Homo-oligomer: A and B are copies of this chain.
């Protein structure tokens, strides 16, 4: 994302440390968090300093590389760190793909060497791990760019007025975004997209992050409450819906931020196309259908407490719900394949029932 004329990835490496745009401080403060250890990076994933499936994947890859470096050849220690990294967020499959890839790259390197000291070997493994983590991030950025090019024509064939939910933009990815990438591509190509950004309770990724990104990209947009989408559809204000994905099952069922499924049902009811945009790394062929995707349950405090800036710009948290009342907070829902018009990937556009063609 471009901030103050400078282009930033959402997560990157600098001076041997992992750097992350701190998404908990946005939209009120743009700040870069630095992580010097796998534990810090894992904590950043868990507390959502970094969020969004592809960005989580990249951060998890770097965390795994940090852990392998820290372990200095002690694979039991590395394994414990891997477990910890993988315990941060259960739904986004790219996290698990990334840790597995980096782990594998380091392990394979073990076998390759002829004669070297244990210290040399550990250092070589760490190097291989960091290389693989960087490759994951670069591939992810390239995939998101391709999603933008491929998706723009398809999405805007229906009209210029697009609904999106949560944040599947620059901040959710290493670069460009998934659901927002076609919108940015179209906008930069001279198109005139108009985006309804569904605020996405409870954490407000649509109100805070997507709106912030769209503003920085000079895309015309309005924030709406999540419950407004159906009546906008009924009035003809929305031409198509596009969202990201945290995990796509083999049959095309898609886990994404809570509230996605409501928009999908409303789109079906009004005959409006509903797209999922995601790199193919989001597809989990080992999960046959959506019912098998683990859904993260987060703290009910996220429903009760809202963070924002007061009239003087001071960041504060306020409880807006009735004291003593409890809430529930499933972080994701599953949209069945039948409600999805197509999945837009870096390898092309697929019917959700034909994802096997990706392989």
State the A residues within 8 Å of B (CB): 26-28, 165, 197-202, 204, 207-209, 211-212, 214-215, 221-231, 234, 258-263, 265-266, 268-269, 303-311, 315-330, 333-334
Give Cα A334 to B231, complex, Å: 7
Give Cα A262 to B233, complex, Å: 10
**Contact assessment for B262 and A325 in the assembled complex, using a CB-CB cutoff below 8 Å:** no
Give Cα A234 to B327, complex, Å: 19
**Contact assessment for B223 and A226 in the assembled complex, using a CB-CB cutoff below 8 Å:** no
Number of copies of this kind of chain in the complex = 2
**Contact assessment for A321 and B204 in the assembled complex, using a CB-CB cutoff below 8 Å:** yes
Give Cα A316 to B311, complex, Å: 9
**Contact assessment for A227 and B316 in the assembled complex, using a CB-CB cutoff below 8 Å:** no
Closest B residue to A267 by beta carbon equals B265
How near does chain B come to A196, taking the closest CB pair, in angstroms? 8
Give Cα A263 to B334, complex, Å: 17
**Contact assessment for A318 and B316 in the assembled complex, using a CB-CB cutoff below 8 Å:** yes
**Contact assessment for A28 and B207 in the assembled complex, using a CB-CB cutoff below 8 Å:** no
* A227: chain B residues within 8 A (beta carbon): 165, 198, 200-201, 226-227, 258-260, 262-263, 333
* A228: chain B residues within 8 A (beta carbon): 258-259, 328, 330, 333
Determine which residue in A200, A225, A330 has the highest number of CB atoms from chain B within 10 A of its CB, and name it.
A225
**Contact assessment for B328 and A307 in the assembled complex, using a CB-CB cutoff below 8 Å:** no
Q: Given B201, B204, B305, B323, which contacts A226 in the complex, CB threshold below 8 Å?
A: B201
How near does chain B come to A330, taking the closest CB pair, in angstroms? 7
How near does chain B come to A111, taking the closest CB pair, in angstroms? 45
A308 and B320 in contact, given A227-B201, A259-B228 (Cβ under 8 angstroms) = yes
Q: List 18 A-B contacts (CB under 8 A).
A: A165-B227, A201-B225, A207-B321, A208-B321, A211-B322, A214-B325, A215-B325, A224-B327, A224-B328, A225-B329, A228-B328, A231-B261, A234-B334, A268-B269, A306-B308, A307-B318, A309-B323, A310-B319
